[in-house]
Chains A and B, each alone.
Chain A
Amino acid sequence: MNEADMIQYHEWLLRRSWKGYLYRRYYLYPRLWRYVRGKTLDVGCGIGDFIGLTKNSIGADINKYNVQYCLNKNIDAVLFSNNKLPFDENSFDCVIFDNVIEHIYDSNDILNDAARVLSKGGLMVIGVPVFKHFFHDADHKIYHSKDSMMNALLVPRMEYESDFNTPSNSILKLIFKHTCRWYVYKKT
């Protein structure tokens, strides 16, 4: 991602709608918190919406403008690059990828590194858009099908546990038009 793209994406994140914020604050994150335990890492944390509301959590992003924004807001975030997370092995109990891997052509490396920093028995929660809403973001690069996420995730020692949709409520689906499917994996 070059400098201009970083600024553009950071500004795009800042233009979030109040509707989207309410949805995340009062619907999406409470659902994710069901899987959050112990120390949590949010990979691709953006402007820190999730980690700002989640205790004992830290964010990581490749966009320095996002990281600086988080730090200015006293939200714990670190910059990383080359798919290498700057953390020790087994240092987190939960890793969240909230709409991240569809922006990357080859997500295996970052998923593998996230598995490295995850402790045994920890959960990895990955959210990707459903296909009907996949083209809403011009930066989306790969639509990961359910089959692909359940059977072909090339990360060793990660076992598929469950999946769920957000929003699952049909009225909310009509309002937000951005349905995601979340997959939960457990490190064995």
Chain B
Amino acid sequence: MTKLYDLIIIGSGPICAGILHGIPDNLSIAVITHGGYGGYEVDVNGDLTYANRFGGGLDEWHGVSSLALYKKHYPSDMALAKEFFSEIYMEREEICECIDESHIYIPNKKIDLHNLVELIESLNCDVIVGNVDSVNLESFYAEAIIGDARFRAKKIILAAGAIGSMRLLSNSGLGTPNAYIGNHINGYCNFNVKPPEGALSIKRGKGGHAKPIVSGILSGHEYIQYHRPSLFDFRYKDMLIKNKSTYSRSKSEVYSKILRAMSPGLISEAIYNRYGYWIGGSNSNVYYQIESTNVYYYDHQKKLILVDQNNLKSFNHSLKSDFGFKQLCEETIVSGIHFYNSVNPVDGIGIIANKESWSNTILVADSSCLKSIGGAHHTFSIMAMGNLAARRIYE
């Protein structure tokens, strides 16, 4: 007889951590992970389903999460979203001061739940190591299949990344993949960027939640470009000084950044962030996020979502030659795939961002389930949504 868990989470990254953080400790939970941690290198030529850190290396991340996003999807739960971010930091008061009406500024410092190991131990989760072949949807439960082994749960959450989760659904004959597969690729470029034509006269979205600023065709790739708040922004200088760890590790580092802002690069960056005008300069730090198409494809024989290397190379080449991106790293370009619209959900499968689907047996938790979150940090955003969903499901 196979044990029936209350919940199985497939994937052991930040989303898993966010979900576990919202789950009461009286449930039987299993986390399925591919294992192989410790020195595992992410292979861009592989199927891109593996992360290389248990817990997603949450202690090294920082960014901005948009409250407008939660307002859109969870209008009544905004307080919970704020609470989540204040809870995951060890120094609550400090992070609370980093929350204003429209944003949560995620500091570059250790997050309380970065240690997924402790979270798993405190919740008494089982951890199953293996690559899930498929998921089955039954009447009263779902099951994850690894080789000959079957693991059953009342609810399964797919948090294996957009590629991994979508591949699982595809292999399981659930959520028929459609023509949107491979739609959008995200790249985060932060080295000596030269903004493209057209970007100079367009102001950023209100309150830092960036809107698409450029779209078009590049080497046959349809793309949308956003930018995200960068390391230093004059609008937030008070917050930078007040909160020594917002984007920085020490108060002296904040003052150092302000002093260094006398450099043309950082001044131009701050002006660009504030007014949307680019006056040039090296040593700038504006983050671009470019979403393109046709880079991933679904191999029906191998049942894998793979990278179209030719398209990727031509796209990268165009980014360098036409856009002026330098020191571009392919690994950072191949960083994501949008789940949104890529799979036709069927009965029993829901998206964790939609409240209506919380009663479903299989849920997909991935930032790309959302149509667009602009300049907000994808992972932090879906982490909070996973947390909200977990609280709501088991309240």
Q: Give Cα distance in the complex from A138 to B37, angstroms.
A: 9
B113 to nearest A CB, angstroms? 15
A134 to nearest B CB, angstroms? 7
B94 to nearest A CB, angstroms? 29
Q: What residues on B are CB-neighbors of A134 within 8 Å?
A: 127
Q: Give Cα distance in the complex from A132 to B122, angstroms.
A: 12
Q: What residues on A are CB-neighbors of B130 within 8 Å?
A: 105, 141
Contact pattern, B 101-116, Cβ under 8 Å of A = 1, otherwise 0: 0000000000000000
- Contact status B127-A132, CB under 8 Å: no
Confirm or deny: B126 has a beta carbon within 8 angstroms of a beta carbon on chain A. Answer: yes
Interface size on B, residues (CB 8 A): 23
Indicate which residue in A105, A130, A145, A148 contacts B147 across the interface (CB closer than 8 Å): A105
Confirm or deny: B38 has a beta carbon within 8 angstroms of a beta carbon on chain A. Answer: yes
B39 to nearest A CB, angstroms? 12
- Contact status B128-A152, CB under 8 Å: no
Q: Give Cα distance in the complex from A154 to B149, angstroms.
A: 16
Confirm or deny: A177 has a beta carbon within 8 angstroms of a beta carbon on chain B. Answer: no
Confirm or deny: A3 has a beta carbon within 8 angstroms of a beta carbon on chain B. Answer: no
Interface size, A (range): 20 to 34
Confirm or deny: B139 has a beta carbon within 8 angstroms of a beta carbon on chain A. Answer: no
Q: Give Cα distance in the complex from A157 to B217, angstroms.
A: 68
Q: What residues on B are CB-neighbors of A141 within 8 Å?
A: 128-130
Query: Chain A residue with minimal CB distance to B37?
Result: A135
Query: Chain A residue with minimal CB distance to B54?
Result: A135
Q: Give Cα distance in the complex from A17 to B21, angstroms.
A: 39
Q: What residues on B are CB-neighbors of A24 within 8 Å?
A: none
Confirm or deny: B35 has a beta carbon within 8 angstroms of a beta carbon on chain A. Answer: yes
- Contact status B35-A144, CB under 8 Å: no
Confirm or deny: A7 has a beta carbon within 8 angstroms of a beta carbon on chain B. Answer: no
- Contact status B126-A144, CB under 8 Å: yes
A140 to nearest B CB, angstroms? 6
Contact pattern, A 141-170, Cβ under 8 Å of B = 1, otherwise 0: 111111110001010000000000000000
Q: Give Cα distance in the complex from A142 to B3, angstroms.
A: 13
- Contact status B2-A132, CB under 8 Å: no
- Contact status A138-B1, CB under 8 Å: no
Q: What residues on B are CB-neighbors of A146 within 8 Å?
A: 124
Confirm or deny: A176 has a beta carbon within 8 angstroms of a beta carbon on chain B. Answer: no
Confirm or deny: A83 has a beta carbon within 8 angstroms of a beta carbon on chain B. Answer: no
Confirm or deny: A106 has a beta carbon within 8 angstroms of a beta carbon on chain B. Answer: yes
Q: Give Cα distance in the complex from A138 to B35, angstroms.
A: 8
Indicate which residue in A106, A108, A135, A148 contacts B126 across the interface (CB closer than 8 Å): A148
The answer to whether residues A147 and B124 also contact, given A105-B130, A138-B36, A154-B1 and a CB cut-off of 8 A, is yes
B11 to nearest A CB, angstroms? 16
Q: Give Cα distance in the complex from A145 to B38, angstroms.
A: 22
Confirm or deny: A131 has a beta carbon within 8 angstroms of a beta carbon on chain B. Answer: yes
- Contact status B1-A108, CB under 8 Å: yes
Indicate which residue in A131, A138, A144 contacts B120 across the interface (CB closer than 8 Å): A131
Q: Give Cα distance in the complex from A138 to B340, angstroms.
A: 35
Q: Give Cα distance in the complex from A135 to B117, angstroms.
A: 11
Chain B stretch 119-139: residues in CB contact (< 8 A) with chain A? 120-121, 124-130
Q: Give Cα distance in the complex from A58 to B160, angstroms.
A: 44
The answer to whether residues A105 and B3 also contact, given A135-B37, A138-B35, A142-B128 and a CB cut-off of 8 A, is no
Q: What residues on B are CB-neighbors of A135 within 8 Å?
A: 35, 37-38, 54
A to B CB contacts below 8 Å, 26 in the list: A105-B128, A105-B130, A105-B146, A105-B147, A106-B149, A108-B2, A131-B117, A135-B37, A135-B38, A135-B54, A138-B35, A140-B35, A140-B129, A141-B129, A143-B126, A143-B129, A145-B120, A145-B125, A145-B127, A147-B28, A147-B124, A148-B28, A148-B126, A152-B28, A154-B1, A154-B3
**CB-CB nearest 8 A-B residue pairs:** A147-B124, A105-B149, A143-B127, A145-B124, A148-B126, A142-B128, A141-B129, A145-B126
A residues in contact (CB < 8 Å) with B: 105-106, 108, 130-132, 134-135, 138, 140-148, 152, 154
B residues in contact (CB < 8 Å) with A: 1-3, 28, 35-38, 54, 117, 120-121, 124-130, 146-149
Kindly list 20 other residue pairs between chains A and B, CB separation below 8 angstroms, not including A135-B37, A143-B127. Answer: A105-B128, A105-B147, A105-B149, A130-B121, A131-B120, A134-B127, A135-B35, A135-B38, A138-B35, A141-B128, A141-B129, A141-B130, A142-B127, A143-B120, A143-B129, A145-B120, A146-B124, A148-B3, A148-B126, A152-B3
